[in-house]
Amino acid sequence: MPIIVNLDVMMAKRKMSLNELSEKVDLTLSNLSILKTGKAKAIRFSTL
């Protein structure tokens, strides 16, 4: 069963940029971008 990431929808609802989210959750901009676009092949539990 695939994990569905609705990051772009949630960011739009909260009017938050990728830069703001990156600072708040302490993940790199590139990793968040991969998750947002749905190009992630896997994700570590520690990231979740």
pLDDT, position 15: 95
CA separation (Å) from 1 to 4, 8, 23? Answer: 9, 21, 30
Output the pLDDT for position 5: 83
Count CA atoms closer than 13 A to 14's CA, side-chain side: 11
Parse the chain into domains and list their residue ranges.
7-37
State pLDDT tens for residues 1-48: 777 888 889 999 999 999 999 999 999 999 899 988 888 888 888 877
- Give the separation between CA 33 and CA 40, rounded to whole angstroms: 9
Q: Is the pTM of this model over 0.85?
A: no
pLDDT at 16: 94
